[in-house]
Amino acid sequence: MHNFEYAAPASVADAVAALAKPDAKVLAGGQTLLPTMKQRLAAPTQLVDLRKVAGLAGISREGDAVVIGAMTRHADVAASPLVHDAIKGLGALAGLIGDPAVRHRGTLGGSLANNDPAADYPAAVLALGATIVTNKREIVADDYFKGLFETVLGEDEIITKVKFPIPEKSAYEKFRNPASRYAMVGVFVAKSKTGVRVAVTGAGSSGVFRQKEMEAALAANFAADAIKGVKIAAANMISDLHGDADYRAHLVGVVARRAVEASA
Amino acid sequence: MVQVSMTVNGKAVSAHVEPRTLLVQFIREHLRLTGTHVGCDTSQCGACVVHIDGKAVKSCTTLAASCEGAQITTIEGLAHGGKLHPMQQAFQDNHGLQCGYCTPGMIMTAVDMVNRKGHQLDEATIRHELEGNICRCTGYHNIVKSVAQGAREMGGAK
Ligand SMILES: Cc1cc2nc3c(=O)[nH]c(=O)nc-3n(C[C@H](O)[C@H](O)[C@H](O)COP(=O)(O)OP(=O)(O)OC[C@H]3O[C@@H](n4cnc5c(N)ncnc54)[C@H](O)[C@@H]3O)c2cc1C
Ligand code: FES
Ligand code: FES
């Protein structure tokens, strides 16, 4: 790892100021950034550690939404009765990320800023129609993800929290790569008064995406059989040593049906 | 350079380190506590697991600077008064190690598991919770037995 300067400011404003240095980067749980730096795939000159910034961690219920701070660890989301009662799929998802040690450090904000095409949280954010709140603005999920490891976040923009609307039913099903534990295919299904949303991670060659044919079929009849006929094209699927595009396309259907069956 | 101060196995320590110093480097190279191992460069093997404020984390994927003010426990901090911790004893009793390289991380992960999941752990739970720890020798069978025994004995059962 190349050397860098380290700052641990106590407020969002001070963190943004520290990010003004060239090649500065936010450090949250470090579970993606530090491995990347160790491999010298990233070499920021300044790390701005958010660990002391007040008010960035925590889970609360605000009206018909669950609001989770950007620095909230995966383990805390997984262990939260509030999350499990309100959005069952979201609590389950957090408990499936990586392993216990990764969950003790990794954060919601870090996962969303990174937008790995095989990460889990992006599926929940997109399927639940969550709103990402930053130091500058509020971004709806449909506008936030911009392809592989790309989002609309600016260089000096910090995610502070995410607002997840509470659905009637939800579930997340993940077909894990047994070695890395990332999603080969992960499907989040959310049914609410306004309709059904289905988001797929791990499979799409430009990252997380909504499967609108499934959404329409499920809005008419919320049952696994309703999406049996939906054909998933292999054209936009990831093909790698873990599985080719045809295999992933097939898995999307299987995993989506399991998610519908598991919805509660 | 940054100044870091933390408590390691109950002892206050502090040092001037480069910001890029990983917690595992701080523990092994500055404090000379070499029980914590480094088995990979990719945050996957778990040989480096220690507890930060009571929770299992990979010390190769944490900056020492981020642990300012924290309470750290390493494998050296488990035994008391010449008596092995029940989880260490369970690994010895069940032949839960061969080369021993993964063992410090396995034991620190296992103790954290018991703290969160209690003293009666079934095989499926133990295997699921050990997903972040890789062993190249044992085939895991005796590790799982060790963790189950250690969990019971941490609760006082024999
Ligand atoms: C062994 C292993 C297995 C894993 N398995 C999975 C898995 O199964 N599923 C999964 O989804 N993930 C997995 N991960 C990744 C893990 O979830 C990471 O914790 C997560 O992707 C990044 O979160 P972090 O808090 O660690 O962020 P960091 O690594 O600290 O940061 C990641 C990026 O986000 C930026 N950033 C962080 N916080 C903010 C913020 N608040 N605002 C703006 N930018 C920010 C950083 O600058 C950096 O570019 C795994 C990681 C490891 C090491
Ligand atoms: S050395 Fe830390 S996970 Fe392998
Ligand atoms: S005992 Fe050798 S790696 Fe586990």
Enumerate the β-bridge partners of residue A46: A5, A24
Q: Rounded to whole angstroms, how far apart are CA atoms B94 and B90?
A: 6
Q: For residue B102, give its domain range.
A: 86-154
pLDDT band at residue A179 using 50, 70 and 90 as cut-offs? confident
Say whether both B146 and B95 belong to one domain.
yes
CB contact under 8 A, A6 and B63: yes
Task: Assess whether pLDDT exceeds 90 at residue A26.
Answer: yes
Tokens of B103: 């063992």
Provide the ipTM: 0.96
Say whether both B49 and B109 belong to one domain.
no
Enumerate the β-bridge partners of residue A165: A65
pLDDT in tens, A192-227: 999 999 999 999 999 999 999 999 999 999 999 999
Task: Assess whether pLDDT exceeds 80 at residue B157.
Answer: no
Q: What is the pLDDT of residue A100?
A: 98
What is the mean predicted confidence (pLDDT) over A8-36? 97
If you classify domain A59-263 with CATH, what class do you get?
Answer: alpha beta
Q: What's the Cα-to-Cα distance from A24 to each of A6, A21, A30, A171, rounded to whole Å?
A: 10, 6, 14, 37
8 Å CB contact between B26 and B51: no
* Closest listed residue to residue A89, CA positions, set A184, A195, A203, A165: A165
Say whether both B73 and B36 belong to one domain.
yes
Say whether both B129 and B108 belong to one domain.
yes
Tokens of B63: 């900056």
Count how many domains chain B has. Answer: 2
pTM score of the predicted model: 0.97
CB contact under 8 A, B63 and A4: no
Say whether both B53 and B103 belong to one domain.
no
In chain B, which among 82-141 make CB contacts under 8 A with chain A? 109, 112-113, 116, 129, 131-133
8 Å CB contact between A182 and A142: no
8 Å CB contact between A5 and B19: yes
Q: What's the Cα-to-Cα distance from A246 to each of A71, A196, A197, A208, B14, rounded to whole Å?
A: 37, 26, 23, 17, 55
Where does a domain end: B25, B50, B77?
A: B77
Q: Where are the domains of chain A?
A: 5-49, 59-263
Say whether both B66 and B91 belong to one domain.
no
Out of A6, A38, A99, whose CB is closest to B65? A6
- Separation of B29 CA from ligand 3 center, angstroms? 22
Q: Rounded to whole angstroms, how far apart are CA atoms B111 and B150?
A: 8
Say whether both B53 and B108 belong to one domain.
no
pLDDT band at residue A178 using 50, 70 and 90 as cut-offs? confident
pLDDT in tens, B127-154: 999 999 999 999 999 999 999 999 999 9
**B103 alpha carbon, closest ligand:** 3
Please give the share of chain A, as a percent, with pLDDT higher than 70. Answer: 100
Task: Assess whether pLDDT exceeds 70 at residue A98.
Answer: yes
pLDDT band at residue B5 using 50, 70 and 90 as cut-offs? very high
Mean pLDDT (chain B) is 97
Residue in A with minimal Cα distance to B106: A101
Q: What DSSP assignment string belongs to A10-73?
A: SSHHHHHHHTTSTTEEEESS-TTHHHHHHTTS---SEEEE-TT-TT-S-EEEETTEEEEETT-B
Say whether both B8 and B73 belong to one domain.
yes
Residue in B with minimal Cα distance to A96: B128
pLDDT in tens, B7-45: 999 999 999 999 999 999 999 999 999 999 999 989 999
Say whether both B8 and B68 belong to one domain.
yes
Task: Assess whether pLDDT exceeds 90 at residue B158.
Answer: no
pLDDT in tens, B44-92: 999 999 999 999 999 999 999 999 999 999 999 999 999 999 999 999 9
> B48: domain CATH number?
3.10.20.30
Contact of A84 with chain B, judged by CB distance below 8 Å, is answered with no
Q: What is the pLDDT of residue A180?
A: 83
Q: Rounded to whole angstroms, how far apart are CA atoms A187 and A135?
A: 30
Out of B43, B61, B129, whose CB is closest to A100? B129
Q: Rounded to whole angstroms, how far apart are CA atoms A40 and A42?
A: 5
Q: Does domain A5-49 have CATH number 3.30.43.10?
A: yes
| Beta-strand relationship, B2-8 and B71-73 | parallel
| Dihedral over Cα of A210, A212, A218, A224: its sign | negative
One-letter identity of residue B11: K
